[in-house]
Amino acid sequence: MNTKIENTSNYDVEEYLNKELLRFTTAGSVDDGKSTLIGRLLFDSKAIFQDQMDALEESSKLRGEEGVNLALLTDGLRSEREQGITIDVAYRYFATPKRKFIIADTPGHEQYTRNMVTGASTADLAIILIDARLGVLTQSKRHGFIASLLGIPHVLVCVNKMDLVDFDKGVYDKIVKDFTAFATKLDIPDMIFVPISALDGDNVVDRSERTPWYTGPTVMHHLENVVISSDHNLIDFRFPVQYVVRPHLNFRGFSGRIPSGTIAVGEEIVALPSRKTSKIKEIVSFDGNQQEAVAGESVVLTLEDEIDISRGEMIVRKNNLPRVENKFEATLCWMDDQRPLDSGTPYIVQHTSRNVQGYIRELRYLIDVNTLHRNKEADTLKLNEIGRVVIETAMPLFLDPYKNNRETGSFILIDPANNLTVAAGMVRYASSRTESNRDDLMFTGASMNIIKENVTVTRAEREARNGHKGHVIWLTGHVRSGKSTIARGVAQTLFEQGKQVFNLDGDVARHGICGDLGFSERDRRESVRRIAHMARLASDAGQVVICSLISPRKEMRDFARALMPDGAFTEVHVNCSIDECRKRDKDGLYAKADKGEIPNFTGVSAAYEPPVNPDLVVDTEQQSPKESVAAVVDAVKDKL
């Protein structure tokens, strides 16, 4: 193969730019012919320049080979050429009249799994090569699993070296049967098989006369015609802000690349994490203003309202939000060859344009990529190992499951000590706390990898020392119903009676343990969860804990009750009409809520579920504060 050719591709630049791009990766065991196949694709499609051919000829001569070894085109490292194997990921670009392509030639060795994950992470299609002489090996299954793990929708299985088995149809059929049986366990929506000889070019670009029994497409035909337009997520609009553009006082825009979805001028959006809303005013690109932008475009968005948005935050469509979570479950591929996974190390989680500190709270299991076996006894991940983990971050991330959105469902971990990437991850569940939707649940689980210690001084011993039992009095009601006033009065009265008392006020907690929370439904649940657990700890210490907070949902109050021992919880409904609460509101909170200045305000824009069967009801419109305090003290006197 000493023929010298020149690159005959002479496409118009605009025509080239408008062509659809297919990214594909190759994978296979050692010597299966990945690099040779790519070289053949480039050679037969006339995508090799003259200087490249000269270099290939020279390298082939140095190796003592006749003609041109096409595998050397992608094996660019000296160590690769010396060993005749692929070590690093090699990228090559070429085009045909129908499409343009980016090839990622990835290594087949198990010790280079991290390289394969890197090369295949953005691929639309994976080519898996199988040596016809050897059949389906463990490595072949590993490559299929990784392709499935990375969510590659199209897999092309090339049964290579058919010339060495005399193009035996029986050999080909057995490989197809064996690999198909294994692939049924994987999530691969589209898979086809092609018998080829990469060395001789059979069924690579041109159909081979030596396989009259094969009627399917050639490799090149499939690459040019496989439908990938439906694979792109055009529904979930996500716009991670990379930079705030402020060239002058009259312009403020947010620049970035759209990883998924579409957006048009005039559409309503939500800024995360602030959840402030606005509408798209302009979409500015390099070529000027446009009415619509789609996934893959880099644009600057301007909004109709002044919203404080910074790098790392995200703009999304109003009625299509990602999950905003700081704890999630993911599949992790470990890439650090120096140090294994360490649950005590604070890694940097880089997700889209957002960098936050995070910890790996749990390694649920290690996945044997060769057998798909789950090792639940593993306590760490080492180089090239893959496992399912639970990650908790200091700040929330805006997540989609990887299978729904590869852009917002992927992330990397960085070691802050040396700034090296140590792992690549794929979000599996937006919240690890439960695999169901947590929107309607109160979380009752425990932290990961924590062993509950036995206390040395028991609750009963503390109660005996105090002369009374530990107890929780839970006051619930509208804003300005009188909860805090009653709580202070009850605490003072019980203290004067010699009781150990502890007051937990919802508003006070907002200045401390709940200071990072807003007033959304989710944040309210989290506020109640924290205060309820604190109340449980204090009551276990023999304290009488008086909790006064709105806790507007029945499930919130039931959650708090369930944490306490039987008989150690008293629910008090502080009943007062909204009209009377408004009259008492000297701070004007209700008036601000009416104007929309305070969102999710209970009794105005957020609902309140009055207790159906509380332990006690005090009516602060009919009873004075002193009478209400006396009623609460009387209700708990026999429980202490």
CA-CA distance, 385 to 429, in Å (whole number)?
20
HEC profile for 181-239?
HHHCCCCCCEEEEEECECCCCECCCECCCCCCCCCCCCHHHHHHHCCCHHHCCCCCCEE
Tell me the pLDDT band of 441, cut-offs 50, 70 and 90. very low
Whether 464 and 634 have beta carbons less than 8 Å apart is answered as: no
Q: How confident is the model at residue 326 (pLDDT cuts 50, 70, 90)?
A: confident
Q: What pLDDT was estimated at residue 86?
A: 38
User: 565: helix, coil or strand?
Assistant: coil
What is the predicted pLDDT for the residue at 435? 36
pLDDT tens-place string over residues 206-235: 899 999 999 999 999 999 999 887 777 888
Q: What is the mean pLDDT of residues 24-47?
A: 78
What whole-number percentage of the chain has pLDDT above 70?
84
600: left (phi over 0), alpha (psi -120 to 50) or beta: left
Task: Express each pLDDT in 481-494 by its tens digit.
Answer: 998 999 999 999 99
pLDDT band at 84 (very low <50, low <70, confident <90, very high): very low
What is the pLDDT averaged over residues 523-537?
A: 86
CA of residue 526 relative to chain centroid, distance: 21
How much is the pLDDT for 203?
Answer: 94
- pLDDT band (50, 70, 90) for residue 31: confident
- pLDDT attached to residue 66: 56
Of 341-350, 353-362, 369-378, the one with minimum mean pLDDT is: 369-378
The most confident of the ranges 435-449, 452-466, 523-537 is 523-537
Res 546: pLDDT? 93
Task: Tell me what pLDDT residue 249 has.
Answer: 82
80-102 mean pLDDT: 66
Average pLDDT for the chain: 82
The dihedrals phi and psi of 29, each to the nearest 5 degrees, come to -75, 170
Question: Residue 298 CB: number of other CB atoms within 10 A?
Answer: 12
Has residue 610 got a pLDDT over 70? yes
Contact 365, 415 (CB under 8 A): no
What tens digit of pLDDT does each residue of 127-172 get?
999 999 999 988 888 888 888 888 888 999 999 999 999 999 999 9
pLDDT over threshold 50, residue 76: no
Q: 528: pLDDT confidence band, cut at 50, 70 and 90? A: confident
pLDDT value of position 97: 86
Query: Alpha-carbon distance 601 to 103, whole Å?
Result: 55
Instruction: Tell me the domains of the chain and their CATH numbers.
Output: 13-231 (3.40.50.300), 238-317 (2.40.30.10), 327-435 (2.40.30.10), 463-636 (3.40.50.300)
What does the buried/exposed string (b/e) look like for 532-560 if buried means 16 or more CB atoms within 10 Å of the residue's CB?
A: bebbbebbbbbbbbbbbbbbbbeebbebb
Q: Which amino acid is at 240?
A: P
Confidence (pLDDT) at 510: 76
Whether the per-residue pLDDT at 639 is higher than 50: the answer is yes
Q: What string of H, E and C letters represents the secondary structure of 468-511?
A: CCCEEEEEECCCCCCHHHHHHHHHHHHHHCCCCEEEEEHHHHCC
- Separation between Cα atoms, residue 503 and residue 543, nearest integer Å: 10
Q: In terms of DSSP bridges, do strands 569-575 and 471-476 run parallel, antiparallel, or are they unpaired?
A: parallel
Helix (H) or strand (E) holding 114: helix 113-120
Lowest mean pLDDT among 38-52, 274-288, 454-468: 38-52
> Where residue 65 falls among pLDDT bands split at 50, 70, 90?
low
Among residues 593, 607, 553, 575, the alpha carbon closest in space to that of 482 is found at 575
Tell me, what DSSP letter sits at residue 564? S
pLDDT of 358 higher than 60: yes
Residue 30 has pLDDT above 90, yes or no: no
Q: Is the pLDDT of residue 458 over 70?
A: yes
Query: Of 432 and 54, which is predicted with more confidence?
Result: 54
**β-pairing, 190-195 with 154-160?**
parallel
Q: What's the pLDDT at 449? A: 41
User: 284-287 long-range contacts, Cβ below 8 Å, gap at least 24?
Assistant: 284/253
Residue 352 has pLDDT above 70, yes or no: yes
419-428 pLDDT per residue, tens: 999 999 999 8
